[in-house]
Amino acid sequence: MANKTADIAIVGGGVIGWSCAWHLLRREPALHIVVIDPDQSRSISLRGAGGFRAQFASRLNIQISLASINEFKRFPETVGADIKFRQHGYLLYTADVDRAEDMQHVADFQRVHGVPVDELSISELKRRVPCLNTSDLIYAQIGPTSGYLDGPGVVRGYRTASIKGGADEMQAKASSVCATGVETDQGHVSAKHVIVATGHWSANLGLQLAVHPEKHQLCFALPAEVDPKWPFVIDADTTYHFRPYGDGILVCYNDPELSQQKFKVDDTPEFSLPAIERMFKIADHRTPGFVNRQNCSPGRAGFYGITPDRHPIIGKVDEIVIATGFGGHGVMHSPAAGLLVAEIILDGKATTVDISALGPDRFRKGKLIQESMVF
């Protein structure tokens, strides 16, 4: 075991940790950065659906998304990787009158904050996505600048570019952190700044962070007809959603039974077959014959790192910089997260977006932020 020193120690080598490394090195190429992680293959960033959107109901989520989408557009030139960025849209529909009204109000809010949202007639919805049973649907809308990308490609891009820029990796598990260093099972790392980016494991480091694991999963299906230009298609009433992926589709459903189960941070996320059965019941009605037991296979399970108000924590605890709790939005929000953390460290304050409301102490103070568009 050897002790190390670095300018900046980043605990956690998922998409958030590597985005922080890349953004710091882009601003200050001479920085010595070490990224500490015992096993990057368990990163949840490698397991997601690759969706990105600015269709949120909170100003902060919208601003973080808009800044991130701007960066994703330039990813091949700036980071040097093709992340298969496709702005094919996020399309939401409902059969519920009250939800339709809410969705219209939220769309107005989004437009005010610079997010284009178009309403679709039900006949236009059917024309665009013919596999949908639209008989009971009453309202649909699409955010044309949202879409999907290669999530693991984003992690690989930030990691490869950071290592090329001089970042070091240390295969080690952190047991505790303080403002000037990290204690690990492979020795101590002294640093001028410490960043915690350990996703749903973040409650493990003794910092009293309000993050817990919530299980989610996705499947892969090979239906007969898929248009590769389809948007991410979301049933706002049930959360059943799918998007083109390879020759087929990637299908998700935020099963309430699954997300209410309690897990310990070090549990392995096993795939739940009963949850797919519950999804098939929804699919049978909404997309008859399109997704079924014959053409749909279990895919990946993982944990969201969830906070009580479903917004991330970006801010300081005892001079340690925290970037965690990104829930189901960590990949889509990773560019802005890295940028804002770099501003906190290099400028003393984040300026691209006013994130003073995202501090870790907001839960203790009862200053939670509202967000209704989570699926």
Binding-site ranges for ligand FAD (CB under 6 A): 11-17, 36-40, 42-45, 47-51, 173-174, 197-199, 201, 204, 216-218, 300, 302, 304-305, 324, 326-332
Residue (151 or 223) nearer to ligand FAD, CB:
151
- Rounded to the nearest whole angstrom, what is the least distance from the CB of residue 137 to ligand FAD in the complex? 23
Rounded Cα–Cα distance for residues 236 and 91 (Å): 9
Residue (287 or 324) nearer to ligand FAD, CB:
324
**Residues 319 and 206 sit within 8 Å (Cβ to Cβ):** no
- Rounded to the nearest whole angstrom, what is the least distance from the CB of residue 340 to ligand FAD in the complex? 14
Residue (110 or 334) nearer to ligand FAD, CB:
334
- Rounded to the nearest whole angstrom, what is the least distance from the CB of residue 120 to ligand FAD in the complex? 22
- Rounded to the nearest whole angstrom, what is the least distance from the CB of residue 22 to ligand FAD in the complex? 13
User: Token pair of 178, please?
Assistant: 């303080």
DSSP 356: G
Phi, psi of 372 (to 5 degrees): -105, -15
Residue (137 or 155) nearer to ligand FAD, CB:
155
**Residues 155 and 35 sit within 8 Å (Cβ to Cβ):** no
Rounded Cα–Cα distance for residues 348 and 344 (Å): 5
- Rounded to the nearest whole angstrom, what is the least distance from the CB of residue 126 to ligand FAD in the complex? 25
The secondary structure element, H or E, covering residue 92 is strand 90-94
Rounded Cα–Cα distance for residues 71 and 67 (Å): 7
**Residues 237 and 95 sit within 8 Å (Cβ to Cβ):** yes
Rounded Cα–Cα distance for residues 251 and 220 (Å): 6
Residue (139 or 232) nearer to ligand FAD, CB:
232
Residue (141 or 334) nearer to ligand FAD, CB:
334
- Rounded to the nearest whole angstrom, what is the least distance from the CB of residue 77 to ligand FAD in the complex? 22
Residue (50 or 153) nearer to ligand FAD, CB:
50
Residue (197 or 355) nearer to ligand FAD, CB:
197
Rounded Cα–Cα distance for residues 75 and 86 (Å): 12
Phi, psi of 163 (to 5 degrees): -65, -40
The pairing of beta strand 181-184 with beta strand 4-11: unpaired
DSSP 237: T
Q: Which residues of 157-176 are buried (b: 16+ CB within 10 A; e: fewer)?
A: bbbebbbeeebbbbebebee
- Rounded to the nearest whole angstrom, what is the least distance from the CB of residue 199 to ligand FAD in the complex? 3
- Rounded to the nearest whole angstrom, what is the least distance from the CB of residue 300 to ligand FAD in the complex? 6
Give the three-class secondary structure for 364. Answer: coil
Residue (33 or 218) nearer to ligand FAD, CB:
218
What separation in angstroms does the CA of 139 have from each of 4, 9, 98, 232? 58, 49, 11, 16
What separation in angstroms does the CA of 302 have from each of 182, 314, 320? 26, 22, 27
- Rounded to the nearest whole angstrom, what is the least distance from the CB of residue 342 to ligand FAD in the complex? 15
